[in-house]
């Protein structure tokens, strides 16, 4: 009997590279972070202009976009302010809630996984 290397190939085949101590290297892409939607919820007490101000100040919306989102929230009960990583979304929700409470408005801002 002769000495066999790998799977009995010619010595140049793929089986020869998987011998003892050999490692298969694969290139993987970094995982994208989970994204979260920041939502405003409609209520019957927060003035529309205050909601527009919140959208402009905390979500960098133009007056036109902020007004459109505000009307969407008013008509449907909920509206998306933006989509962010967890930490950014969490910060924006906290900022809006704090700002609303300081101005004595019951505006609710929440986040959900996208």
Q: Is residue 96 part of a domain?
A: yes
- 85 φ/ψ angles, rounded to the nearest 5 degrees: -65, 165
Whether residue 48 contacts residue 70, with contact meaning beta carbons closer than 8 Å, is answered with yes
Q: Is residue 59 part of a domain?
A: yes
pTM: 0.74
Q: Is residue 105 part of a domain?
A: yes
Q: What average pLDDT is seen over the chain?
A: 88
Looking at the 3D structure of the chain, how many domains does it have?
A: 1
Burial of 6 (0-12, 13-18, 19+ CB in 10 A): middle
Position of tokens 């704090």?
98
Per the structure, the complete domain to which residue 102 belongs is given by 39-113
Considering only 15-24, 38-47, 59-68, which range has the smallest mean pLDDT?
Answer: 15-24
Q: Is residue 25 part of a domain?
A: no
More confident residue, 112 or 29: 112
CATH number for position 74:
3.30.1390.10
pLDDT digits (tens, 9 = 90+) for 69-111: 999 999 999 999 999 999 999 999 999 999 999 999 999 999 9
Q: Is residue 18 part of a domain?
A: no
Q: Is residue 60 part of a domain?
A: yes
pLDDT at 54 over 60: yes
Furthest-apart CA atoms within the chain: distance in Å? 90
pLDDT at 4 over 60: no
Whether residue 65 contacts residue 55, with contact meaning beta carbons closer than 8 Å, is answered with yes
Q: Is residue 8 part of a domain?
A: no
């Amino acid at each position: 009997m002769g000495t066999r290397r790998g799977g009995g190939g010619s010595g140049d085949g793929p089986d020869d590279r998987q011998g003892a101590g050999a490692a298969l290297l694969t290139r993987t892409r970094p995982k994208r972070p989970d994204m979260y939607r920041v939502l405003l919820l409609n209520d019957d007490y927060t003035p529309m202009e205050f909601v527009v101000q919140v959208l402009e100040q905390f979500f960098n919306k133009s007056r036109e976009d902020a007004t459109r989102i505000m009307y969407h929230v008013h008509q449907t009960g909920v509206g998306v302010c933006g989509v962010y990583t967890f930490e950014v979304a969490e910060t924006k929700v906290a900022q809006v809630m704090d700002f609303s409470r300081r101005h004595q408005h019951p505006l609710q801002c929440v986040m959900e996984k996208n």
